[in-house]
Structure 1
Amino acid sequence: MQVDFYHLTATPLERALPQIAERVLAGGGRLLIVAASDEQRRHLDRWLWSYAPDSFLPHAAAGEGDEAEQPVLLAPQVEPANGARFVAIVDGEWRDAALAFDRAFHFFDDDRIREARLAWKGLADREGVERRYWKQNDAGRWEQAA
C-alpha cells in the first residue's frame, strides 16, 4: 500500500486533484475523494465538471444513487461505495481507513502541516506501507522529496 503526501503550496487542490483523478481513470482505476465538509464536496463536485475547457471527469456525490457505477465518487467518509482501490483525502485530515486501499493521496496545505507530519510519523512503522512526500519546486512542478 502506498501513501502519497501532497503538500499544496503553489498549486491549489483544484488544480492538483483533477490531475491525479485523470491518471487513476486512465489506468482503469476508480477513485474515492473524501472530504468531511459538505461545502467542500459541493465545491469539488462543481469544479470537477469545469476545471478545464476540454475536461470531462465523470463523477458523482455519495448519496445521489448509482454509487457503484461511478468512476469517481465524492464522499464524507472512507467507504468505497464505487469499489475504488484509490482514495484521495482532500480535507487535510488523515484517516487510517485509507490503508485498506491500494494507494492513498493525502492532500494538505500549510494550515494542516502539523497533522500531516503526525500522520507521516504514524505510518513510519506500519508494515507494508510505503510513504512518499511530494512538494512543489520553484516552477510549480511536483518533486518527490521523501
Structure 2
Amino acid sequence: MTEIAFYHLTRTPLDQALPKLLGRVLAGGGRAFVLCGSEERVAALDASLWLSTDPDWVPHGTRAMGHAAQQPIWLAAEDAPEAGAPNGARFLVLVDGAESARLAAFDRVLDLFDGGDEAAVAAARRRWSAAKAAGHSLSYWQQGQRGWEKKAST
C-alpha cells in the first residue's frame, strides 16, 4: 500500500513549508505532483515557488506552462489521470484538502493541512480514517520549534 504522511502546519503557512518539502523530494531524485484545491492556489504556489529562497530553486510547471513530462514538480487543480501523474511523479502532495482517487498510483503521499483552520483539521482526520481503513501506511507530522516532529504512525 501507499505510504501517506499527514503534515500539520502549525508554525508556517503552506507557501513557506511546501518549498522545503519539495526540496527534499528533489534532493532524493524524486518527482512530485502537487494537487491543489483550486486554480487560484496553483497560481499562488507557482509564484511562491519561483520566489523560494529555501531551497533557492524549485523547478516546476503548470498547465499554463505545459510540457508536464519535463517538469520534476507539476502543480494542478485536477486529479492525475489513471495512469499516474502527468510528470511521472511517484510523490503526490495534497494541499487545501484536495483528494485523489488514485493514491495507490504513488509511492508516497504528503497531505498538508492548516492547523489554524478547524474545518481543515476535521477534514484531515476524516482522510486519515479513510486511508487507515483502506490499509495504507500512515504517519502524522506536526511542525515544532526545530522542524517537523513525527507524532504518530500506523
Using the size of structure 2 for normalisation, the TM-score is: 0.86
How many angstroms does 1:51 deviate by?
1.6
5+ residue gaps in structure 1?
A: none
1:113 alignment partner AA: V
Work out whether 1:145 is the aligned partner of 2:145: no
Shift of 1:37: 1.0
How far apart in 1 are the matches of 2:54 and 2:105? Answer: 35
Aligned equivalent of 1:108? 113
Cα offset for 1:23? 0.9
Using the TM superposition, give the Cα deviation of residue 63 of structure 1 relative to its aligned residue in structure 2, in angstroms: 4.5
The 1:37/1:58 distance shift into structure 2, 3 A limit, reads same
**RMSD of aligned Cα (Å):** 1.6
Q: C-alpha separation between the residues in 1 aligned to 2:49 and 2:39? A: 15
Partner residue of 1:118 out of 126, 130, 133: 126
- 1:12-39, Cα deviation, whole Å (9 max, x unpaired): 1112111111111111111011113111
Q: Would you say the 8 A contact 1:10–1:140 is kept in 2?
A: no
The equivalent of 1:22 in structure 2 is 23
**How much has 1:140 moved relative to structure 2?**
5.0
Structure 1 match to 2:138: 131
Q: Find the aligned partners of 1:134 and 1:69 in 2 and give their Cα distance.
A: 31
Equivalent residue, structure 1, for 2:33: 32
